[in-house]
Homo-oligomer: A and B are copies of this chain.
């Protein structure tokens, strides 16, 4: 073992690297795999560090808490699959409407073993697990409302995104958590083609605001 080999790993294990965060990406990859395989609750910072081959302190240094690491892993998966752009692309490049293409992509992601099971686990805990609720609301406000709404350029973009989100959330819970019989048995394509026009209407269509007291939001 040379002097260089002795020193380099020790440096990278005790604090942030000077290579601009290559270790950060490695940790995030390991975290995504661990959360996907074991779910949020069973995954620990220590296990993620082991899988990434780094010291647990480095994981804490980059990501703080486990809650924050999970939020970042979900957001990263969401962005790396190009989800924020799918709904904003109004052209009918590819098959179907924007809503249909978005649902095809989201359902395909949820049914693959990557982050799908971890995300469904998160949704399962929404009503009773305060940490899950915080992670999910942060995802909705930062990634959906914050990143998606400004791209839409429609009237009331935040309301539109939250309506589309309500349909998506109910779909995920009905199909994957409760497994309601007819809904759970449809193919991804059938769900996307029947529910897609709902997403289109919320995101791009005319929403009829009634003019009752209180006005439009």
Which A residues contact B (CB, under 8 angstroms)? 123-129, 133, 136-137, 140-141, 145, 156, 158-159, 161-163, 165-171, 173-175, 177-178, 180-183, 185-187, 189-190, 193-195, 197-198, 201-202, 207-210, 212, 214, 216-217
Cβ of A193: which chain B residues have Cβ within 8 Å of it?
207-210
Beta-carbon contact of A187 and B214 below 8 Å: yes
Give chain A's interface secondary structure class: helix
User: Given known contacts A170-B168, A209-B190, is B163 in contact with A195 (CB within 8 Å)?
Assistant: yes
Cβ-closest chain B residue relative to A177: B127
How distant is A110 from chain B, measured CB to nearest CB, in Å? 14
CA distance A171 to B168 in the complex (A): 10
Q: Mind listing 17 A-B residue pairs with CB under 8 Å?
A: A125-B128, A126-B127, A127-B127, A128-B128, A137-B178, A137-B180, A140-B178, A145-B181, A158-B181, A158-B182, A159-B186, A162-B182, A163-B195, A167-B170, A169-B169, A173-B173, A187-B214
CA distance A207 to B123 in the complex (A): 27
How distant is A214 from chain B, measured CB to nearest CB, in Å? 5
CA distance A183 to B164 in the complex (A): 10
Beta-carbon contact of A162 and B174 below 8 Å: yes
CA distance A201 to B196 in the complex (A): 12
- Name the residue in A162, A182, A201, A208 with the highest tally of chain B Cβ atoms < 10 Å from its Cβ: A182
CA distance A124 to B123 in the complex (A): 11
Cβ of A212: which chain B residues have Cβ within 8 Å of it?
187, 189-190
Give me the 3 closest cross-chain CB pairs, A-B, nearest first: A170-B170, A124-B127, A162-B183
